[in-house]
Structure 1
Amino acid sequence: MQKQLTIRDWILYSLLSLLVLLLVLAMYQIDRQWLKLTEMQTSMSEQAKSLRELRSVIASGAVSAASPATAEKIAPAFKRAYAATRLPDYAQGDWSVEAFGTNLKTITPLVSTDAYAANVQSYVLESLITRDPDTLEWQGLIAKSWKVSEDGLVISFQMREDVRFSDGEPLTAEDVAFTFGFIMTDAIQAPRDRAYLEKIKEVKTNGKYEVAFIFKEPYFEALSLAGGMSILPKHFYETYLKEPQKFNESKGLILGSGPYKLIDPKNWTPDKGNVELVRNERYWGDIQPSYSRILWKIIQNDSARLTTFRNGDIDSYSARPVEYQELKKDAQIISKSQNFEYMPPVVGYSYIGWNQQRGGKPTRFTDKRVRQAMTYLTDVNRVIKDVFLDYAEPAVSPFSMASKQHDSALQPYPFSLDKAKTLLKEAGYEDRDGDGMLEDKAGKPFEFKLTYLESNEDTKRMVLLLRDLYVRAGVRMIPFPQEWPVMLENLDKKDFDAITLGWTSGIETDLYQTFHSAQAVSNGDNFTGYKNPALDKLIDEARRTVDESKRMPLWQQAEQIVYEDQPYTFLMRRKSLLFVDKRIHNLQMTKLGLNLGSLPLETYVPAAQQKYTP
């Protein structure tokens, strides 16, 4: 049975039709607004890029604000990165994913002491000047220019006016002066940095964007010392002057002006496992970071790291010598990787440090003859051949054999069981009970623990080899593996017999940090307690000698003392044997080594090969 439409029905249908029409119109309007918004966003992005380029030109003082920005006007520190952006397949986006072979104790600046934390900080913190990786000359970063007084005691920096920290606050001369004052505050746990900065009398601001470093006396690395200091934001760190212990015990307090930042600059802790940085969207630099994120996974096992690399879950793998040749023949590895074998001029060295003071008392290693004997017993050439398969060279001293600091007359100690036994007998050690092992005059056997990083398989193999060599002379060495955070804690407390580690190196190495008596203090880097007044005098004189032709002979005299005293048994300088995923583009070798990581704005992943979302 059909029903007639009433007036009420017609009204309802009319209202419904009107509602549908309004909805369609609204959707059309929203769509138009969305398109407009997209256009505006694209336009703003292009304008922001242009503004960054123009801002760079203005800040550098090269041209007036009305001049157009061109490639030639990009600040020198960003030239290499700018060249990368001109490559046909350049793209922003994706993640850089690497691995650390050990847990990190802390990544807080000044408090941290290891190369892993320094690596993280290099993405977040910046300095006034930086090294040109092609020429090794200094070039401006936050500073656009500088001048040195005739007597070399005052270095004044003119700073860019467009630099901001990642939270948006401007970076000014006040932050530079604050950083110096913060480091020099005794309550702040920064003895290593203070050891160097004590050469500076004061840091003065002259207006908002000019800062001057006044030195107490001439110093050969004055420009490096002043210009290379990582700048901390005053507004972020000054509260810790009131509660320094909170800073000293912190695990992840880091905020800077660099291309990347911690998502939460106050609350990273080791129990989070990985270390993750995100792109600093406010980055002031002429070139913006290519990667959206920088991630370091903690993978302590060598085999696990290799498997992770095979699976494409990390971007590079530092191969052990024992596996390198086989990996170069591995079809799956070669199909996905590019490999690099190199030893940059600034490569560091490994060593065994002999602790001379433990618990306030001298140890057997206080005797120079004992340290020399241990060096004669340490067959470095065999270690290099059997463990590192000749992908290393012997280290004679803290100075590279290619360095001007090195005395070419000094050669590595040869392995000599006879010389070692003779020296140990002179020092009072001989087999007194006929068991084949040495004892001192009180009948106490010559034995000690050698601390090493438990996650490093090559170091473990080396230690076991040395144990067998030492026992031939009647010396019992007990391998003592430890986790990285525990090792660092024991170093600070000087609670070890002997330890094998490595130091990074530089273009010119200053011996003050590791071998000067002034640094044989709590938390100082002369953690073996080695002291020699003659060496102290030479180090002090070399550091204040600006003339290179006069300074190098002083370093060579200092090297001769270290060579004679053997506070360390110097082991080797190792080659880097690196495989990098082919998705990483624009890898280049520089005088500082491969530009992977050390120059974070230069490498990138083409859009077609990207696999991580922001």
Structure 2
Amino acid sequence: MRDTAPHAAAPGRRTLLGRTGALGAALALPGLPGCSAGPESTIDFGGADGPDRTLTAVVGYGNDGSWDPTQTASAFSMAANHHIYEGLLDTDPVTREPYAALATRVPADPYATVWPFTLRAGATFHDGVPVTADDVLFVFGRILDPGTETLVKGFFATWLKEVRKVDARTVELVLAFPFPDGLSRLTLAKIMPRHVFSRPGAWEDAVRGRAIGSGPYRQAAHHPKSNTVLEAYDGYNGPRRAAFRRMNWLTIVDAAPRVARISGASAGAQLSDNIPYANIGRLRGGGLTVAGGAGMNNLFLMFNTRHKPFDDVRVRQALRYAVDSRQLVRVALKGHGTPASSFLNEAHPDHRRATTVYDHDPERAKALLRAAGVRGLRVDLTSVNVSWVVDCLPTLKASWDAIGVRTTLSPQETTAVFTRLDQGRDYQVVAAASNPNQFGLDADLILRYNYGPANLWMRYARWAGHPVARRLFRLMDRATREPDPGRRRAMLQDCLDVVAEQAVLYPVVHNELMTAWDPRLLTGLRAQPYPGINLLRARWV
């Protein structure tokens, strides 16, 4: 989820725009119709009945983050981009199995070091221009360019050596070593039109919301902090055709109005993600389906390791042992979560209980603080304002207060928190939500999402230069290159043990995300274990 993310070597204007996407009014960009502000920005377009009626969906996250597919970690824009753009391969939103999207087939041998791809005949972008191999090279060139700051670079640069053009509709991906997990990662390389985004200033336009792809839906209107409208693209000839003529996606971050929008006989929307746990029973009683997806979604704590005393691992561990995570699950999450026993959630196939597990142990926490020579500690806990994260804050404060740590809670808008981090401003501890499953399921990807040596998370934590961090990064690289699956898994688990012990950026709980929809109107929906929605297989009843 946003709720953050990029991969970059140094802060700058593009990085800041890419992280926060801070916008004022609605966009008015060339080639982006309907992008004017106005009172119609959140109405439910279309009639109430018939196959051409508008689907109205509520997304519980902001739509004012970056829309650049190579850069964004915004839950809203990533979900929308999966409908607007295509990769050579895309993945099922739940199983994450790859399927042919812009390419005509999945490579037969995932262990090969050259993967050939032929583009789908007749594929066009939403402005009618044909998709060609040059567009593929354009996007991968940006991703692999060492001088370009993108989030997705960290998911490709270790194993993808180059992309070669064979002819106008054929490319070859050349791998540095066999890496079968790379097939599912190709959905992160959304193919964008070179003739649009190679122009001066075009990447900034993408950050602000301009989106032109080859997928089944085109962006018809975009109103930051309000809504985005998607329309079926009649020129689409791929495998997952649009089932809705028009979709109006509303962004409603606050829990109460989000629930109200899908409640009752006059509900203004047919589905919503990010359902508060306290509302599940009432919504089910009103005839809605409410389903959960358990995965890597988590509440994490991140420490500024250059702000004393958080440079001392004993202090970080003390604050982790102090947290009553089981009480947090019971009270704030209403049972829809699990205390972290690893960086990976317990249902992950590569999960192994970490050598350091932060079970609630206030006496151990006090002893660690004494050993570190820390007395009278005061902590300012900065947090994002995601509704379920805010619900967790009182338990965090009570846990730290109980060991004599005077705690101040500072919840802020998510964009404000990460703007502050992007600017390199000082902080002590941040509590926020994260979910690497937005990008994929494999353990290497999940680890690199937060612990890539040059990504923003490590810059935020100021830890990348630490000797333990440098040893961790070397072990991660060796694990990525390890050809034996069993050995590779063990090496990655060893990396996760280091991450657990150091407690620089680490989950407190993994929680279940809830999605609600009206089964009398919609079918083909499945709850995702990460923020956002995917309607590529959904349809009207």
Q: TM-score, structure 2 length as denominator?
A: 0.81
Q: 1:525 to 1:534 in 2, by over 3 A?
A: closer
8 A Cα contact 1:146 1:156, kept in partner:
no
Q: 1:320 to 1:142 in 2, by over 3 A?
A: same
Instruction: Quote how far apart the aligned CAs of 1:210 are.
Output: 1.1
Aligned to 2:238, which of 245, 264, 285? 285
The AA in structure 2 aligned to 1:447 is R
Q: Distance in 1 between matches of 2:337 and 2:110?
A: 43
The AA in structure 2 aligned to 1:304 is P
Q: Distance in 2 between matches of 1:113 and 1:224?
A: 17
- Summarize deviations over 1:408-428 as a string: whole Å, max 9, x none: 465742111111111111111
- 2:53 aligned residue: 94
Other structure's SS at 1:571 match: strand
Q: Distance in 1 between matches of 2:365 and 2:539?
A: 53
- 2:299 aligned residue: 350
Give the gaps of 5 or more residues in structure 2. 1-48
Other structure's SS at 2:167 match: coil
**What are the residue-to-residue correspondences of 1:543-582 with 2, within 5 Å?**
543-582=480-519
Matched, 1:372 2:317: yes
Aligned to 1:486, which of 416, 437, 446? 416
Q: Distance in 2 between matches of 1:245 and 1:152?
A: 33
8 A Cα contact 1:202 1:214, kept in partner:
yes
- Summarize deviations over 1:146-179 as a string: whole Å, max 9, x none: 5478974322212222211111111121111110
The AA in structure 2 aligned to 1:604 is R
Q: Distance in 2 between matches of 1:145 and 1:167?
A: 25
- 1:105 aligned residue: 65
The AA in structure 2 aligned to 1:602 is R
Aligned to 1:180, which of 119, 140, 145? 140
- Summarize deviations over 1:160-202 as a string: whole Å, max 9, x none: 2221111111112111111011234466542x22223323332
8 A Cα contact 2:83 2:216, kept in partner:
yes
- 2:255 aligned residue: 302
Q: 1:132 to 1:501 in 2, by over 3 A?
A: same
The AA in structure 2 aligned to 1:316 is L
- Summarize deviations over 1:215-244 as a string: whole Å, max 9, x none: 33444533334465211111111113xx47
- 1:314 aligned residue: 269
- Summarize deviations over 1:45-94 as a string: whole Å, max 9, x none: xxxxxxxxxxxxxxxxxxxxxxxxxxxxxxxxxxxxxxxxxxxxx97422
Q: Distance in 2 between matches of 1:276 and 1:134?
A: 24
Instruction: Quote how far apart the aligned CAs of 1:540 are.
Output: 0.6
Q: Distance in 2 between matches of 1:593 and 1:106?
A: 22
**What are the residue-to-residue correspondences of 1:453-602 with 2, within 5 Å?**
453-454=384-385, 456=387, 458-495=388-425, 496-504=427-435, 505=437, 506-510=440-444, 511-519=447-455, 523=456, 527-531=460-464, 532-589=469-526, 597-598=533-534, 600-602=535-537
Give the gaps of 5 or more residues in structure 1. 1-89, 431-437, 439-445, 607-614
Aligned to 1:237, which of 175, 197, 201? 197
Instruction: Quote how far apart the aligned CAs of 1:301 are.
Output: 2.4
Q: Distance in 1 between matches of 2:59 and 2:402?
A: 36
Other structure's SS at 1:376 match: helix
Q: 1:224 to 1:572 in 2, by over 3 A?
A: same
Q: Distance in 2 between matches of 1:498 and 1:289?
A: 44
Matched, 1:425 2:337: no
Q: Distance in 1 between matches of 2:384 and 2:205?
A: 27
Matched, 1:251 2:228: no
**What are the residue-to-residue correspondences of 1:364-403 with 2, within 5 Å?**
364-403=309-348
Other structure's SS at 1:143 match: coil
Q: 1:203 to 1:507 in 2, by over 3 A?
A: same
- 2:281 aligned residue: 325
Q: Distance in 2 between matches of 1:595 and 1:377?
A: 29
Other structure's SS at 1:107 match: coil
The structure with more radius of gyration: 1
Matched, 1:261 2:218: yes
8 A Cα contact 2:138 2:194, kept in partner:
yes
Q: TM-score, structure 1 length as denominator?
A: 0.72
- Summarize deviations over 1:83-113 as a string: whole Å, max 9, x none: xxxxxxx974222212233432332333433
Q: Distance in 1 between matches of 2:483 and 2:55?
A: 41
Q: Distance in 2 between matches of 1:287 and 1:120?
A: 15
The AA in structure 1 aligned to 2:154 is A
8 A Cα contact 1:260 1:279, kept in partner:
yes
8 A Cα contact 1:349 1:398, kept in partner:
no
Q: 1:585 to 1:406 in 2, by over 3 A?
A: same
8 A Cα contact 1:220 1:543, kept in partner:
no
Q: Distance in 1 between matches of 2:404 and 2:526?
A: 47
Q: 1:603 to 1:91 in 2, by over 3 A?
A: farther
Q: 1:314 to 1:494 in 2, by over 3 A?
A: farther
Other structure's SS at 2:82 match: helix
Q: Distance in 2 between matches of 1:339 and 1:209?
A: 43
Instruction: Quote how far apart the aligned CAs of 1:490 are.
Output: 2.2
The AA in structure 2 aligned to 1:213 is L
- 2:155 aligned residue: 196
Instruction: Quote how far apart the aligned CAs of 1:134 are.
Output: 7.9
Other structure's SS at 2:487 match: helix
Larger RCO of the pair (alpha carbons < 8 Å, separation 6+): 2
Other structure's SS at 2:76 match: helix
Q: Distance in 2 between matches of 1:237 and 1:283?
A: 20
Q: 1:597 to 1:418 in 2, by over 3 A?
A: closer
- 1:41 aligned residue: none
- 1:3 aligned residue: none
Instruction: Quote how far apart the aligned CAs of 1:277 are.
Output: 1.6
Structure richer in helix, relative to its length: 1
8 A Cα contact 1:91 1:290, kept in partner:
no
8 A Cα contact 2:296 2:344, kept in partner:
no
Aligned residues: 478
The AA in structure 2 aligned to 1:203 is V
